[in-house]
Structures are given as C-alpha cells and as structure tokens.
Structure 1
Amino acid sequence: MSDVLVSARGLEVHFPIRGGVLRRAAGVLRAVDGVDLDIVRGETLGLVGESGCGKSTLGNALLRLVPPTGGTVRFGDVDVTALDRRGLRQLRRRAGMVFQDPFASLDPRCTVAQTVAEPLEVHGLRPGRRERAARVGELLELVGLDPAVAARYPHEFSGGQRQRVGIARALAGEPDFLVCDEALASLDVSVQAQVLNLLRRLQRQLGLTLLFISHDLSAVRHISDRIAVMYLGRIVEIGSASAVAAQPQMPYTQALLSAVPVPHPALERARQRIVLRGDVPSPANVPSGCRFRTRCPSVFEPCPDVDPALQPVGAPGQLAACHLHGVAGTPVEGEAQTADVGGGP
C-alpha cells in the first residue's frame, strides 16, 4: 500500500548459542521469528509485551541496527536488508532512535551542543558552524529545553532532561520514522507523562511515524493509534488501540490488560484479573504449536500441534493468532491449569 512507510515480511533475527571449548554453535536463540508488520505513514504503532519477547530486537532490526537473519524490511520503496554502507547512512537520516537509558546513550565527554550537532555534521545538513549552532538551539526549544543549556554536559541534567536531549538528537536529521525503545522505562512517573505528551506533540507537529515500544500498556494506549502485542518473537495480536484495549481477542493480551491498574477502588476490586504462572519460555527452546499454550488458561486440542496464524477477528482491522477463533476443540487435560483466573493481585 502506498501509505505504508515501514513494512516487514517474514522478519527473523536469530542469534547462535555457542558452547564448549571450541565455542561451536549449540543452538539458536529466536529473538524475532517470522514477523509480518506494516507501519502506516503518520501513525503511532505501540509494540507491547513482556521483557524478553523480542520487542527491542524487532525495533533495531527495522533500522538494521541488528542485522536480520531472514525476511525483508522495506522503508518506503527501499529494501533495507539490501542496503550497502552508503545506503544505510541515508537511511539513518530518515529514521531516528530514542533509547531506553538517556544517560548511557549520551557521551558524557560531549556537551549537549556537540551531541545534537553530530547528526547535522554527519549528514551535511548545516555546513557552517553558526548554522549548526542555530539549528541546535531550534531543536532544544522544540523539545522544551532552553538553548542556553547547550554548553552543559549530560551529568548536569535530570533523567527527563537527558531524554529530551536524546529526542532532539534523534530529530536532528529531520527523520520520517522514529523508534522509541522503552523511552519512558528509566524515568519517574511524573516525568514519563511529560515525555509522553512531548512525543505526541512532536508526532502531530512534524508528521512523524512512531514505533513506540513499551511494556507499559497504559502509556501505549495513551499515545498509540494501533497496538501490536508480541510474545516470544511473534506478533500475536494487532489492531486499533481502542479495539485491542476494549475487546482483546488473544488470551495473552487479556492477561496483559488485566494487569493494568484501574484508578477507581470499587472497579478495581470488582474486575476479574488474569494471573499467568511461570515465565516466558526461552526463545532458544520455543514450544511446539501455539507459543503461548504453556501459560494459557484456555488450551485446546490444536494448540500443542498447530501454530496459529494471524486472522481477522473482532473489530475491522483487528488480527489475532489464536485457535479459540474458528477452531473447534476440547481443552487439553492439565495444560489449562498453568494459569489462574481470579480477582487476587
């Protein structure tokens, strides 16, 4: 489709597991394992899931910060997986990244001015020193910082201010696409709201396309037009933010939403909460069939043997990978007991 900016087909990122004295390959860790994804120009797509499900690896692979081991990624009409060094440099201007840790992602030896000006120098956007300094001031104002702080170093700022510097650096190349990888995770709750509102304003003001990666569903619902839910290297549900939040079709999505607190004591006590037992299985040893079956409260006969594909369910444009939709079967004895459904925390 002409309005799709970023598209992935069969995207895989596998890491070899080495062991022994000779460090021979002893297995494969499937961080991203066959993802099909379209991100429409001008939208904000929220990507959610538990830690270790492959969200950050997927975001890095879309920008080829991590080399894919299979599948394709297209940025507009450009095949990202086939780009050479020069092509990748051009891509870096059109796509930016906001990292999780604002302190670790900033060079402590460089001032804010040097940090924000570096993309301008690399891409030749402002050839003169005065032009670069003026543009740095504009970018700092854009993210809510006083241009007078340009001579300071990262350690002189709070976490929220450092993250604003990281956003200013990501915007320096005037990108079309921005990946925000857990950009709120290391910030205080009050600062998270400020940065979240900043990202929303910048998205509208600059016409950006955002991939917002987070495990915080409340933040994702606030900022996203659509939500994609990821589990063990795969997208298991995707749809509009309102549809996924109001009518989740995948048991995993239902469990994630049930963990989000409701700011009303009576409603919080009355609502049903789904508590999943155990952890996400190792991506080096993916369960057969449905990947969620080892923790799912509603396991059916096809689940251990057949890997469900994304199919249209629920609201228009909503897809879910679950045998509960359109597949007859009976619960498997014992496996349905791997999760509890109840009102306790």
Structure 2
Amino acid sequence: MKSIGYTQNGPVDSEGALSLLDVDKPTLGARDVLVAVKGISVNPVDVKLRAARAPEGDHGILGYDAAGTVVETGSDVTGFAVGDEVFYAGDVTRDGTNAEFHAVDERIVGKKPASLDFVESAGLPLTSITAWEMLFDTFRLVEGQGEGQSLLVIGGAGGVGSILIQLAKTLTNLKVIATASRPETEDWVRKMGADHVVDHRGDLAAQIKDLGLAPTYVAALTASDQHWPSIVDLIAPRGHIALIDDPANLDISLAKPKALTISWEFMFTRSMFDTDDITAQRDLLNRVSQMIDAGTLRSTVTERAEALTVGTLTEAHKRQESGRVIGKQVLPGLSS
C-alpha cells in the first residue's frame, strides 16, 4: 500500500524526511479494525517525532488523527462492521495514519460525525481526547460543575485550546480565560466561546488580576516553562495545573506555598499501556460526534489541503513548526 513516511529523523527538509513509500498492509490483531483512511490531520506530535525519534526498522509512518471506513475486522471485534464510518487518534506505539490503510484497536475508535465529511472529521479526535481528558480525568471535573470558578487556557487558539474552550463552556459552568497574542487569534478564541482574552506575550499574572479572577484551573498547552512563575502567581490556592507540552525545566517548589496540584495530560497513555479504562476514549469520541451533529460543538479546522502528497504534508509540518497555526490542519487520506 502507499504511505508517506520517514527513514531518518531530523529537519523536515533533510534527506530521509517525508517521502512516498510502498509498504505492506497492516496485519490485524484480534481487537483491531482495518480502516481505509480518507482524512488525516497534522499535530505537533507528528513534528516532534519526525524531528527527534529515529524510526524503528527502515521507516516510520506518522499521523495520529484519521477518519475513514472500516474494511476489515479482527476476530474479536464487536463494536464495528465493514462499511462503518469512524474517526480516532490512534496509538503512538504503532504506525500512523499517513497511509492508505491503518490498523487500530476498536476500543479507541468512535463513530464519525454524520454532519462532517471525512477530511473535516479528521481534525477532531486527538485534540478532543486531550481536552476531554484534561477536564474530566485530570481536573476531575463533573459535567455541570465549575460555578464560581475559572479556567485559564494558555495557547487558546491552537488545536487543543480551540476544543477545550468549547467543551468547558458547553459541559461545565467554568468561566474561561484564553490567551492569544494576535488580532486573528483573539477573534478565534472569542468565537470558540472564551469569556476573556489576555495576551501571553504580556504579564499574565497582572492581566488576570486586572480581571479580578484567580483561576482554579490552568491548562498550560504551550511554553509552560516560560509562563511558570506567572502561572503559580495567578492561580488560586489549591488550584490545579495541567500541562501537555515538554518543558525543559520546572521549579515545582514554587507551587508548594499554594499547595498546587501539577499533572501531565497525555492522550496516548491509555493505548500505550492498555489501561483498564481504555474504552473511555471510544465513549468520549462518540459524545463529541453527537455534539458536533447536534450543533453544540463546532469544527476547529482552519486549513484544508486538496490532496495528500509529500509536498502538501511537508508544508503542513512546516506550518506546525512555525507555531502560527490556528485551530487544525487537515488533508485527505491516501485512500480518498
């Protein structure tokens, strides 16, 4: 089958970066479904792995979002049949979705939103899982809770921030503050539902205090080491900070006087370790799909390519590396 992979880690323009490969079709495990991939998206994890992680064997295939059609099922699959339309974010320990066909554990697969096409649907899974887990697993919020409390989303215009704002406003009573530093990103986070917008290039703590707020929850989605002293300053005592990025160094002793909780959110944990609650990702994706179809959530896609080629995927990686992507980038799959 056709795929776009890499044979050597490093810069996106280097030899051994993204190239068209002919590889074997995946072999299914008992709980796997084989999906003809009709839509994908590009996330920061694709860029990080391509740059830093050498492929196992002679090549690696990236891509951790997909929407497509089930074409084959493993012997123990019970939730899907051939012809079903699905979307999911995959497993970082297996080959990715930048291929004609992709094998994935049925327990982390959801039913594609009926109101979106495959390409648009592919922009939702990874960010929705991350945002949902942050709210309800990491922060341990309960739907409908949060009255009188606030959430600060640092990096609100990115893929995770865009859906996190929506989920917080739709499913909780939290007041949401989002950071943005350009007029277009400020407009975007307001469209997503943010109650307040502050500039992460300025003094975050001073801006939050000017609003008369002390967030109970902080979602540090980017540059958490850069903002760390301000986060500790502005958050409420006994508040909770969740991170998804890779800070080089954090002085967690700063958090002791306020008795803060610090957590990482990593949406691949359930699939990597086959946790007892792995099916939670299937369930939340089905909820997101229903909310999209009901109009209570909106797509976060802002950039859509006409075809998936080495060239278009390379440009998408470059856009991710620029740090200026608003919302999500999507491309057709190789089975389109």
Same fold (TM over 0.5): no
Rg larger in 1 or in 2?
1
Q: TM-score category by the smaller chain?
A: under 0.3
Structure of higher RCO (CA pairs closer than 8 Å, 6+ residues apart): 2
TM-score w.r.t. structure 1 length? 0.24
